[in-house]
Structure 1
Amino acid sequence: MDLRRFITFKTVVEEGSFAQAARKLCCTQSTITFQIQQLEQELAYPVFEKVGRRMVLTPAGKLLLPRVRELTRVLDGIRQISSREEDIAGDLRIMVGETLLAYKMPDVLRLFREKAPKVRLSLQSVNCYVIRDSLLADHTDLGIFYRVGNDDALHMEYFGQQELVLVASPQLQHVDFTQREQHIPVSFIINEPQCVFRQIFESALRERKITLENTIELWSIESIKQCVASNLGISFLPRFSVLRELASGELQELPFSETPPSITALCAYHAGRTVSPAMNMFIDCMHQCLD
């Protein structure tokens, strides 16, 4: 089989259309159409079907896509054999949890850029469940997030337990969350419902039969901290994300439990995939910066 046809197939999926794939591959749209037709003839099944004006993957095409991605990763690995670090190239897709991206990853990203400047890095900040599902579906190369279950299909490298802390403005430092069966007239300021530390906090409140005034949902951790410092409510965040505010006195830690709850930070990839040189380099940079 002609490997170029598989690359064309993958490019059409990633770019979203035959026309965009033609621009990416510097050829005509008719060439793209011909290569896809040749691929379908070789495979003896269609990989695209027309729905309205759009070309979408057939069920067989959806099954083929992860295998083609694996094939292109193997080819990248072959090209990189015996290459020097500065010659590592290719694409690297990474999904990162928002707090980890903001407070843990800048040093890692700077080091990676120094060591692998030719790698085309795609970075996306999403919640931990989306990251896990994307890894399981082989839609991303690496996921950096907090553990949200036991997935045998993922290879995981751990980067420590991250302690969680309940914070408020100095004006609310008298509020006591250790007492059971009470209503506390304050707002809980946090991000979306699938946030891991939000789930831990709300589970503890249900167990203690504590109710709050309401919940304010914000996406940005910086916005959450500013609102808490302005006495608009309390929040429950990884300690590393509020170290500066705790040290300056802008925020106060509230008692919550005898043993501080924690979450596990990790970097993961699909256990069945070939690890590219770029993936290896990024994981190595994480160990250098975070261990």
Structure 2
Amino acid sequence: MCLTREGKKLLPHIYELTRVMDTLREAAKKESDPDGELRVVSGETLLSYRMPQVLQRFRQRAPKVRLSLQSLNCYVIRDALLNDEADVGVFYRVGNDDALNRRELGEQSLVLVASPQIADVDFTEPGRHNACSFIINEPQCVFRQIFESTLRQRRSTVENTIELLSIESIKRCVAANIGVSYLPRFAVEKELESGELIELPFGEQSQTITAMCAHHAGKAVSPAMHTFIQCVEESFVAG
């Protein structure tokens, strides 16, 4: 196939148009590359056991982003997003979040754990007093609230409550038979598999909490936010 004389005259213009289009594509790509600062807040169990995979993916895809990462209570995270004090939150749903754009990451089952050496406890019997400690973190912890609410419904009690700051310290104390705890299953999977901890019966069905990734619904989603949210969703799907 041969070009006509008129076609040959148009070739320089076609080449120039192609060059301009390539330049525009490159400029658009550079402009959309994630950069700047990203403020992320997360619940402690999610940050400790689910977020490392997310952060690894994100660093590979967005090395220019200055990431600010903080562990907070889920109620504080919700309020921080609503008040534009954080860009993205990965936490458990606590309600009053209609102003948030939410992506649910699945139901996380909760489990009552103890040392294999524990004796004479039964958390399924209504009205029973269990002479052991409940080891957990601060009062607004979502799974603490669920556990204590369930005990109230059953009119059951424990000897006392021990508040610790970190999930790891809670697990170590439980393994040492100082008390029991109520935690997301993914946070104690290794200890249950190794036999360091055992699961205690707590009900016919496992109670669950909803993990989610969220940002303020009125907030413009930056390339950094978009990339981070993608990494979160991919990591939770992968398990």
Bin the TM-score by the shorter chain: 0.7 to 0.9
User: Gaps (5+ residues) in structure 2?
Assistant: 1-25
Which is greater in Rg?
2
TM-score of the two chains, using structure 1 as the length reference:
0.71
**Structure 1 residue ranges (4+ consecutive) displaced by more than 6 angstroms after TM superposition:** none
State the Cα distance separating 1:84 from its structure 2 match.
4.9
Secondary structure at the aligned position of 2:190 is classed as: helix
State the Cα distance separating 1:220 from its structure 2 match.
0.5
Per-residue CA deviation, residues 12-56 of structure 1 (Å, 9 max, x unaligned), is xxxxxxxxxxxxxxxxxxxxxxxxxxxxxxxxxxxxxxxxxxxxx
State the Cα distance separating 1:289 from its structure 2 match.
1.2
- Aligned partner of 1:208 in structure 2 is 154
1:249 aligns with 2:195: yes
Distance in 2 (alpha carbons) for counterparts of 1:288 and 1:193: 32
Secondary structure at the aligned position of 1:242 is classed as: helix
Secondary structure at the aligned position of 2:28 is classed as: coil
Cα RMSD after superposing both structures? 1.6
1:157 aligns with 2:103: yes
TM-score of the two chains, using structure 2 as the length reference:
0.86
Secondary structure at the aligned position of 1:288 is classed as: helix
Distance in 2 (alpha carbons) for counterparts of 1:207 and 1:85: 56
Kindly report which structure 2 residues correspond to 1:193-272, keeping only aligned pairs within 5 A, or say none. 193-272=139-218
Secondary structure at the aligned position of 1:234 is classed as: strand
The one-letter amino acid of 2:208's match is S
Per-residue CA deviation, residues 212-248 of structure 1 (Å, 9 max, x unaligned), is 1100000110000000000000000000000000001
Aligned CA distance change for structure 1 residues 265 and 81 (closer, same or farther; 3 Å):
farther
- Aligned partner of 1:121 in structure 2 is 67
Kindly report which structure 2 residues correspond to 1:275-290, keeping only aligned pairs within 5 A, or say none. 275-290=221-236
1:137 aligns with 2:137: no
Q: Percent identity?
A: 64
- Aligned partner of 2:45 in structure 1 is 99
User: Gaps (5+ residues) in structure 1?
Assistant: 1-79
Secondary structure at the aligned position of 1:172 is classed as: coil
The one-letter amino acid of 2:163's match is E
The one-letter amino acid of 1:178's match is T
Q: Is the 8 A contact 1:173 1:252 kept in 2?
A: no
State the Cα distance separating 1:88 from its structure 2 match.
1.6
Q: Is the 8 A contact 2:33 2:223 kept in 1?
A: no
Distance in 1 (alpha carbons) for counterparts of 2:235 and 2:105: 10
Aligned CA distance change for structure 1 residues 269 and 86 (closer, same or farther; 3 Å):
closer
State the Cα distance separating 1:287 from its structure 2 match.
1.6
Distance in 2 (alpha carbons) for counterparts of 1:154 and 1:81: 32
